[in-house]
Structure 1
Amino acid sequence: MWRSVYQARLIPQVSRGLVRSRPVSSRLGLPTLARFYNNGPTYRRFNNSYGGYNGGWSISRILLNRTSRNYLTFFLGGSVVFYVANLEEAPVTGRKRCIWIPRSLELKIGDYSYKSIMRESGRYILPESHPLTKKVENVFSRILEAAYKDPSVDKTLLDGINWQIHVVNDPKGPPNAFVLPGGKVFVYSSILPICKNDDGLATVLSHEFSHQLARHTAENLSKAPIYSMIGIVMYTITGVDVINNLLLDGLLRMPASRQMETEADYIGLMIMARACFNPDESIRLWKRMSEFEKSHHLGANGILEFLSTHPASDTRIQNMHKWLGKAKQIYEESDCSSIRGYYSGLKNSIFGNDKPEFQIVRF
């Protein structure tokens, strides 16, 4: 959920000289008329640049030229081979996607992001010995253990990672949580009252953790050159940057981002169930999140979801209802009933039935 998505864009900047043409009349001599056709007619585009046929390349010229067609055929054929050779399956869902970005680059991006966040929010991070940090650490440890038990998860993404938990107690920070490539986990204390309990926190952490299990960062980076090439082709046709970017966002980038968010919801729900967290709480968590968004005029609803990187909370609640049967099956197969009964009885005897487990710490 939480708005952290890595994307790269390339906006081509094409500059053309200003060519002035005079009206053609019967009084023009043949050399003048020839010069007119050599230079070509010009027109002003919506982005205030001039265009026209000036001997440059275009889609039609490529298709009419035999050599260009051969190059285009080789390029498209090589692209298909490259795409198929780099197909990978996402864990749990089995969705196939092309990832050609090496893991080492993914980790470098995670390290760069970690240093940047620490410079900005390091002074707000609670110490490792703080009860809230320990609470988050315990919940995440169970999720990590459940991921190891899932046969569809690539264990090489988990081995050798230095997992670190950071609770950011920034009074001005929005409700947020994310897991960076390389194992750095960040939870902002403002999201803890929305989580309300361990199961709600597990919903959030398992979702963010699932982004790394599915390598969504690398998937986004792998798609960036494709978006750039499509943008260049569209620019040669329309010559309008703004409309091209809106079309790319609405038809490609945003739907792909929402697909990955939905996939992380599904993977996270199954992993939290395997970790013996109550999957029913995921629906209640998203209801609380929806109420928070509405009270603060946030979130994507209705037509706004079309241009949002994340599904609307109401959409996520509907999805959770559809997936709940599968999650409960995993929960039962993991023999969680006896564990949950003991844990719930112990917790209620100490804290009572309705008392939230999390509160924002103020200094």
Structure 2
Amino acid sequence: MFRRLGDKIFSATQNASIRFTTLRTYHHATYRRFNNARPGFQFNIHDPTTRKILSYVAAGGGLFYLANLKEAPVSGRRRFLWIPPSLETMIGNSSYKSILRETSSFLLPESHPTTQRVSKIFSRIVDAALKDPTVDKTLLQGIEWKVHIVNNPRAPPNAFVLPGGKVFVFSSILDICQNDDGLATVLSHEFSHQLARHTAENLSKTPIYLVLSTLLYTVTGAEYINRLLLDSILRMPASRQMETEADYIGLMIMSRACFDPHESIKLWGRMSDFEKKTIGAGAKFEFLSTHPASERRIDNMRQWISQASQLYDQSDCGHSNGYYKSFQNSIFGSPEPPFILRGF
């Protein structure tokens, strides 16, 4: 904007007055440059202060890690676990409400023969776990177990047990299970995830993954590469380890519950055939999956079958199981075959 001549004269006089005032007050002021501010902490591995702080953090983290190493039931594996069971239950309840909203139109009633059949099998598995001396009984007490059958023909075969005791079994998996022993293999596996508190174990590792991801980002600067490295080196192998542990724990519990452990090998054989038909060659790439390949699971079952058979014999299943089934049939009626579900 252009100014008038009078305004320029007034401005020059005003500026002279301001300069005089500034000179007069300059001695009472302290000139401070912007970069004279006191520097804060900067991450530098060669700096002694940085090394000292890192050593304290590493020592504290190491002590916290060792103090929270706890033994898993049945398998005896020591794992890092600091998340309280109450948080698991809270997460499980939240997931339960969400899954109910998604599956409510496909749920079979509690009075349905399939729901009752699955509930009886699952009840025997829980009772067998309570008899295992390595199981912390407090983790199973006060839980309101509830079985839901999702009769959705389009849904893939699946089953899972949420923290808090809610069980979901999709009807499409019953054809693969074929019988009570096959169904017990699946249910005991899913139950074992909660018995070993694998949800809490995953949550306990989250801060570790976050720290490692941050450190990797300072080196690579690429989030995608960091995620790929963490998944392939840490997350997926840890997930496969927990799946294998659930296989082992589940096999021992189902054997203690007087379900034939040899059926587990047949079950995973049928699962392998299903994967080959639906997934194809991709099912063989175990390192890309959170679950072990079915062939590896079959090999594991064969290695564990001797120990499982001993538990089966110690439970006097050969003599008592026939009497138990007769008693069960007299009270509840004969179980219906697995192919009883029909679409709505």
After TM superposition, the score normalised by the length of structure 2 is 0.83
- Whichever of the two has the greater Rg, that structure is 2
What corresponds to 1:229 in structure 2?
211
C-alpha distance in 1, partners of 2:280/2:148? 25
Residue identity matched to 1:278: D
Instruction: Report runs of 4+ in structure 1 exceeding 2 Å deviation.
Output: 55-58, 298-302, 339-348, 355-363
CA contact (8 A) 1:167 1:188 kept: yes
C-alpha distance in 1, partners of 2:278/2:337? 22
Q: Give the count of matched residue pairs.
A: 302
C-alpha distance in 1, partners of 2:322/2:119? 22
Q: CA deviation at 1:344?
A: 7.4
C-alpha distance in 2, partners of 1:75/1:146? 43
C-alpha distance in 2, partners of 1:76/1:301? 40
What corresponds to 1:15 in structure 2?
none
What corresponds to 2:287 in structure 1?
306
1:147 aligns with 2:132: no
Q: CA deviation at 1:339?
A: 2.6
CA contact (8 A) 1:299 1:313 kept: no
1:68-120: CA deviations, max 9, x gaps? 11111110000011111111100001000111111111111000000000010
Q: CA deviation at 1:222?
A: 0.5
1:208-255: CA deviations, max 9, x gaps? 000000000000000011011101001101111111111100000000
Q: CA deviation at 1:338?
A: 1.1
Give the unaligned 5+ runs of structure 1.
1-54
Residue identity matched to 2:341: I
CA contact (8 A) 1:192 1:359 kept: no
C-alpha distance in 2, partners of 1:96/1:81? 15
Residue identity matched to 2:273: E
1:95 aligns with 2:81: no
Give the unaligned 5+ runs of structure 2.
1-39
Going from structure 1 to structure 2, the CA distance change for 1:346 and 1:285 (only over 3 Å counts) comes to farther
C-alpha distance in 2, partners of 1:70/1:76? 10
C-alpha distance in 1, partners of 2:49/2:159? 53
CA contact (8 A) 1:165 1:186 kept: yes
For the residue of structure 1 that corresponds to 2:70, the secondary structure is strand
The two structures, once aligned, show a CA RMSD in angstroms of: 2.3
What corresponds to 2:157 in structure 1?
175
C-alpha distance in 2, partners of 1:190/1:56? 58
User: Where in structure 2 are the equivalents of 1:118-197 lying within 5 Å?
Assistant: 118-197=100-179
1:75 aligns with 2:62: no
Going from structure 1 to structure 2, the CA distance change for 1:300 and 1:219 (only over 3 Å counts) comes to farther
Work out which of the residue numbers 308, 313, 316 in structure 1 matches 2:297.
Answer: 316
C-alpha distance in 1, partners of 2:175/2:326? 22
What corresponds to 1:64 in structure 2?
46
CA contact (8 A) 1:127 1:133 kept: yes
C-alpha distance in 2, partners of 1:300/1:96? 32
Percent of paired sites with the same residue: 62
C-alpha distance in 1, partners of 2:324/2:97? 38
C-alpha distance in 2, partners of 1:88/1:299? 38
C-alpha distance in 2, partners of 1:250/1:310? 13
Q: CA deviation at 1:296?
A: 1.1
Q: CA deviation at 1:186?
A: 0.5
CA contact (8 A) 1:173 1:188 kept: yes
Work out which of the residue numbers 235, 238, 262 in structure 2 matches 1:253.
Answer: 235
For the residue of structure 2 that corresponds to 1:88, the secondary structure is strand
CA contact (8 A) 2:161 2:194 kept: yes
Q: CA deviation at 1:298?
A: 5.6
C-alpha distance in 1, partners of 2:281/2:89? 30
The structure carrying a bigger helix percent of its residues is 2
C-alpha distance in 1, partners of 2:309/2:148? 30
Q: CA deviation at 1:340?
A: 3.3
C-alpha distance in 1, partners of 2:250/2:136? 15
Q: CA deviation at 1:329?
A: 0.4
Higher relative contact order (CA 8 A, sep 6+): 1
What corresponds to 1:212 in structure 2?
194
What corresponds to 1:266 in structure 2?
248
Q: CA deviation at 1:357?
A: 3.7
Higher deviation after alignment, 263-272 or 97-106: 97-106
CA contact (8 A) 1:125 1:166 kept: yes
CA contact (8 A) 1:300 1:311 kept: no
1:308-346: CA deviations, max 9, x gaps? 100011110010000000000000000000133456799
CA contact (8 A) 1:200 1:281 kept: yes
C-alpha distance in 2, partners of 1:298/1:84? 43
CA contact (8 A) 2:152 2:343 kept: no
What corresponds to 1:286 in structure 2?
268
